[in-house]
Chains A and B, each alone.
Chain A
């Protein structure tokens, strides 16, 4: 089967910084793929390149076998197939329009009656633990975690076949995070979505992804099946990353 996303020898520099350096990745269809690595390692840049939002200096990217095309029409068409959930939820929410306006736009793009979009939206909001009343709020009137879930709800509303989520669980409490992850697991299975999860939450990536890569300074340092990768990382960098994970250690302070 064709890969959902193929990246071949991607290279990109911002001045002195090598944001991507010989990055090659194949993401199989219908699977969950994890991308981990320290901040500044190039994860978001790779995501932007996969979405066609960032031109490469060299290399190629294919979505479902088709090379990425530049231009507005191609971008719009691709949006039906690949949906991003950006790291900064505020960036995907326009400060001047109510959440309702944002969601209605999706219906317009899908050429779906607003009532039908609204009905699907209510189901998604419920699953994400958001009250219906958020629809009538402006982005600055909701909490950080709520804004993130609104951005996720919008991406899910488009019914994409590939979903790329940049730090989807950051800023969510453990229970809401669990709800979101269960929801992603459900739609993944029901609608055979390819899920790409960029996260520094290693405990989460370990449980939901089949395959993962570890990035550092623009390069893929290690990759493969998650089971062996997390159980016995070959690179010392990957080991360091795992060792830094804060666990529910027993606390020796206080009275």
Chain B
């Protein structure tokens, strides 16, 4: 069953004014699929994840939004709306695995706690066996010995595997991974992505992957959503979006990616990097018209006045973008 997030809007109260961090963001993820959520730093990706998990900061307010998970509807404007799902229907992998692990408990204690919450009636022996099995499934060496170790005794990559094992045991319908490999090198990154995919295939959950790596998205995700300054500017299958980006921002983002075989100037100070000129708009005052106006390289007069709707790209209903060019001949 699909996971659906409808019209999520989140405000952060600031000493001066209110920052609108998200405006009517909607996402859909099919069971067994992985959706890549990308966008500029500060665009609101983690805010989406925290709002779903009910982990937003104290100065945050959800002003609109519903989530439909396993056929149940949750009104996200209510405090603790998704509390019944935490540790069961939803699990999250953070960039920093220590946010999910408690430094004072052994790995074993923490895994067994997940199982106790999920199946209070099972006995301890069964839980220990299940926990060890989960560690083995995420390819952690010596699972028996790891059960008695504390998080600080493991490397970053090993800790992230433990967090994935915890997610595996909670059998979520939705797994949210917020930059799960940012702190890890490419070899470990590839392994961790394999474990996340393994987990998804084993329990058939939906995965929301938040990442800055377009390489990871094109390699592993089915669909992609592009966030910019709190608004979703494009969404579609990875293949369609990569082949024909409907939004100039998406195109410019892909153009910034650095290929490993790019031509290299011997005088390295001459090697320059592609950027998207300009800055994110002030989250307290949304400018009129298109939110990307001012940084867009193909803007025209209407862009400053008309707020674009979500238009199909190349007549494909499953691929949409918010750009007036799509409806202006």
Contacts and interface: CB of A to CB of B under 8 A. Distances in A.
Given A248-B215, A251-B238, A173 B40 contact: yes
A141 B222 CA distance: 32
B264 interface: yes
A178 B262 CA distance: 14
A227 B273 contact: no
Contacts of A200: 184-186, 189
Interface in A144-199: 144-146, 149, 167, 170-179, 181-182, 185, 188-189
Given A244-B189, A252-B239, A254-B239, A170 B182 contact: yes
A246 B280 contact: no
Interface stretch (B63-71, B198-206, B251-259, B301-309): B251-259
B149 to A, nearest CB: 13
A250 B271 contact: no
Contacts of B268: 32, 207-210, 226
Interface stretch (A33-41, A49-57, A74-82, A112-120): A33-41
B41 A146 contact: yes
Contacts of A181: 273
Nearest to A136: B15
Interface string B179-223: 100111111111000000000000000000000111110110111
B203 to A, nearest CB: 19
A143 B183 contact: no
A171 B157 contact: no
A174 B257 contact: yes
A253 B183 CA distance: 27
A235 B163 CA distance: 32
Interface string A219-255: 0000000110000000000001110111111111111
A172 B211 CA distance: 9
Interface string B7-44: 00000101100000000000000000000001111100
B260 A172 contact: no
B186 A244 contact: yes
A185 B269 contact: yes
Nearest to B295: A175
B275 A179 contact: yes
B279 to A, nearest CB: 6
A240 B190 CA distance: 11
A173 B38 contact: yes
B143 interface: no
A248 B260 contact: no
B41 A176 contact: yes
Contacts of B282: 131, 133
Interface residues of B, number: 64
A47 B184 CA distance: 17
Contact of B46 (A129, A143, A249): A143
B75 interface: no
Interface residues of A, number: 62
A102 interface: no
Given A143-B41, A248-B257, A177 B179 contact: no
B272 interface: yes
Given A131-B279, A175-B276, A249 B218 contact: yes
Given A182-B273, A246-B215, A174 B253 contact: yes
A88 B182 CA distance: 11
Contacts of B106: none
A207 B95 contact: no
Nearest to A199: B185
Contact of A250 (B185, B242, B256): B242
A100 interface: no
B41 A247 contact: no
B129 interface: no
Given A131-B279, A207-B264, A246 B257 contact: no
Contacts of A241: 185-187
B1 interface: no
Nearest to A146: B42
B191 to A, nearest CB: 9
A167 to B, nearest CB: 8
B273 A177 contact: yes
Contacts of B39: 173
Contact of B269 (A171, A189, A250): A189
Given A37-B185, A171-B182, A227-B264, A178 B223 contact: no
A147 B97 CA distance: 18
A33 to B, nearest CB: 11
Report, nearest first, the 4 A-B pairs whose CB atoms are least far apart. A145-B41, A254-B237, A246-B215, A178-B273
Given A185-B272, A203-B260, 11 more contacts: A32-B269, A36-B185, A131-B279, A143-B41, A173-B39, A174-B256, A244-B186, A246-B186, A246-B216, A246-B218, A249-B218
